[in-house]
Amino acid sequence: MANKTHTATIHTNHGDIVVELFGNHAPKTVKNFVG
């Protein structure tokens, strides 16, 4: 799961922020963020 690229969308009052999470560069961080 952590080695693939995921996309996270953060919804704010000023619009959406789309973040790409690169599991091949930071697998532990992506795993923690994705759950």
Q: Where are the domains of the chain?
A: 5-34
From CA 19, how far away is CA 24, in angstroms rounded?
A: 15
Give the global pTM. Answer: 0.66
Q: How far is CA 27 from the centre of its chain?
A: 11
Beta bridge partners of 30: none
| The pLDDT value given to residue 25 | 93
Mean pLDDT within 12-32: 94
Q: What is the average pLDDT across 13-31?
A: 94
Predicted local confidence at residue 18, as pLDDT:
97
| Amino acid 20: pLDDT | 95
Sole residue written with tokens 């959406």: 16
